[in-house]
Structure 1
Amino acid sequence: MKVNEVTNLLSHYRHDWMNQLQILHGYASMGKMEKVQEKLQDIIQDSQEESKLMKLQSPHFALWVIRFNTQYDHFRLTYSIQSQHNLEQHDQALMENSQNVMNIFGDFINSLKLYMVTLVVSGQDKPEVSLSVDGDLDKNKDLLDRLGGQSYLKDVQAVESENGHTYTMKLLLNER
């Protein structure tokens, strides 16, 4: 990362923290202590997830996850880390494959819509990375064909949802 990219990332990060603090301040000034507690719990949970992300020893992938919402205008990412595996040996491929998947989805989006992306790192014996994208995506068959043609993906599926379709897939960790 170049210096200006780092400062840009830190600026976005600081902006997000300021937004969180302003929300807390607003709830507190209105005497809505239950809302303050809920928001604090959300902030704590997000911080714990970020800590677990860093413990995966996958710096390129972790940085991609952290920067996701600033890099992809039409997607919003939530993630859950349910594994303590060291992903260092998969770091670069995991980041590149995740980028490639999002680039494919980028070819099928409606630029007026927002799509929800969920990433889960799980697995007890062997790590597993699952990705789902939910929203009003066009060209269902074409998108499935493109995703299905990627050697680093398995179990690619699309199911109808209230927002259109939810696409789910697993990223293989041993290929690029």
Structure 2
Amino acid sequence: MGEEETVRLIQKYRHDLMNRLQIVSGYLSMGSADKAKYHLDNTLQFYEEERKLMRLNADTFIIWVLQFQDVYPSFTLTYHVDLLESAETSINEQKLLLTCEKLLAVLSEAAEEFHVYDLFLYIEERESDWIIRMNIKDIAVENASAIEQRYGISVTIEKEQTSFEWSIAKDERGE
């Protein structure tokens, strides 16, 4: 990542934080303490999730997440990271990133133009491996069995939601 791209990412990050704080400030100035508290709690929860994301020690993946909206404008990303209490955590970020990018290519191909889809990414650390789940509503991918075979992941399609699940063994983390 070059200097200009790094500065642009920091500016975007700062802009997002300022927007969140201005919403809280606006509600406080209107005397709506309950709404201000609600938005402040959401902001704190967002940055707590980000803190857990940073603990993955997967810099390239973290940058991918931070740049997600610019790269994939048809999708909004919400993520949740569930870590064990161990002090040091690490994941095979190449495997995680490559699988996410491949799935986004499949989803982008299936997406309708001018429609924004909510994408949820869940990363769970377990004793011997990591479980990664990606859920998206309103897209039912075709050829789920081909995707399963090609990428080694489980695909579940229920009603109007597609779920992907795969694991990354801890001994694959490349430490």
CA deviation profile, 1:94-135 (whole Å, cap 9, x unmatched)? 112111110111011112111111111114322211111112
For normalisation by structure 1, the TM-score amounts to 0.85
Q: How many residues align?
A: 166
CA deviation profile, 1:32-85 (whole Å, cap 9, x unmatched)? 000111111111111111111111111111221222122210100111111247
Match in the other structure for 1:147: 147
Please tell me whether the aligned partners of residues 117 and 131 of structure 1 are also in contact (alpha carbons under 8 angstroms): yes
Code of the aligned partner of 1:46 = F
Code of the aligned partner of 1:141 = E
CA deviation profile, 1:133-157 (whole Å, cap 9, x unmatched)? 112x36x434x2453243342x211
Match in the other structure for 1:30: 30
Runs of at least 4 residues off by over 3 Å: none
Question: Which of these residues, 104, 107, 117, is aligned with residue 105 of structure 1?
Answer: 107
Superposition pairs of residues 117-132 of structure 1, within 5 angstroms = 117-125=119-127, 126-132=129-135
Distance 1:110 1:10 in 2: 31
Partner SS state of residue 119, structure 1: strand
Unaligned 5+ segments in structure 2 are none
Distance 2:108 2:71 in 1: 12
For normalisation by structure 2, the TM-score amounts to 0.86
Unaligned 5+ segments in structure 1 are none
Distance 1:44 1:17 in 2: 11
How much is the aligned-residue C-alpha RMSD, in angstroms?
1.9
